[in-house]
Amino acid sequence: MTQNISALIEADAGCPMVSFVNLIAGKWAIPILYRLILLNKPFRFSDLLRAVEPITQKELTRQLRQFEARGLVTRNVFAEVPPRVEYQITELGKSLRPTLDSLADWMRANAAVLK
């Protein structure tokens, strides 16, 4: 039995769905990305924090850093006092829109029957 589980885990390592889930892992990943995609404009951190509340500052920072590292979001720091930081979806991030639209459509169609 243990051998079968190990084989499944190894097989899943190359699965594109596992990679996708790892990319958007976290309770707030999709709401953050979707908001940035739909509005398609630079967002100040505080505005994004309000747009996806009740997310915490710590969690938003963590998710944005991951998205930036993966090339889904750009971060622009302005040399002002106080410092201003804006985040914007990249072209790579925008390419997720059809996938996320599809998930949203599925949820709308099936929400009533989900338990």
Q: Tell me: the pLDDT tens digits for 7-57?
A: 555 555 678 878 787 777 788 999 999 999 999 999 999 999 999 989 999
Residues 49 and 32: their CA atoms lie apart, in Å, by 9
- pLDDT band for 64, please (50, 70, 90 cuts): very high
Closest CA to 39 of 87, 108, 102: 87
CB 55 within 8 A of CB 61: no
Burial code (b: 16+ CB inside 10 Å, e: under 16) for 72-101 equals: bbeeeeeeeeeeebbbebeeebeebeeebe
Q: What is the pTM of this model?
A: 0.78
Q: How large is the average pLDDT for residues 65-83?
A: 93
- The predicted pLDDT at position 6 comes to 54
Q: Tell me: the pLDDT tens digits for 91-103?
A: 999 999 999 999 8
- The predicted pLDDT at position 82 comes to 86
Residues 56 and 62: their CA atoms lie apart, in Å, by 10
Q: How large is the average pLDDT for residues 65-94?
A: 93
- The predicted pLDDT at position 11 comes to 54
Domain spanning 27-113 has what CATH number? 1.10.10.10
Residues 18 and 14: their CA atoms lie apart, in Å, by 8
Domain ranges of the chain: 27-113
DSSP 53: T
pLDDT exceeds cutoff 90 at 76:
yes
- The predicted pLDDT at position 9 comes to 53
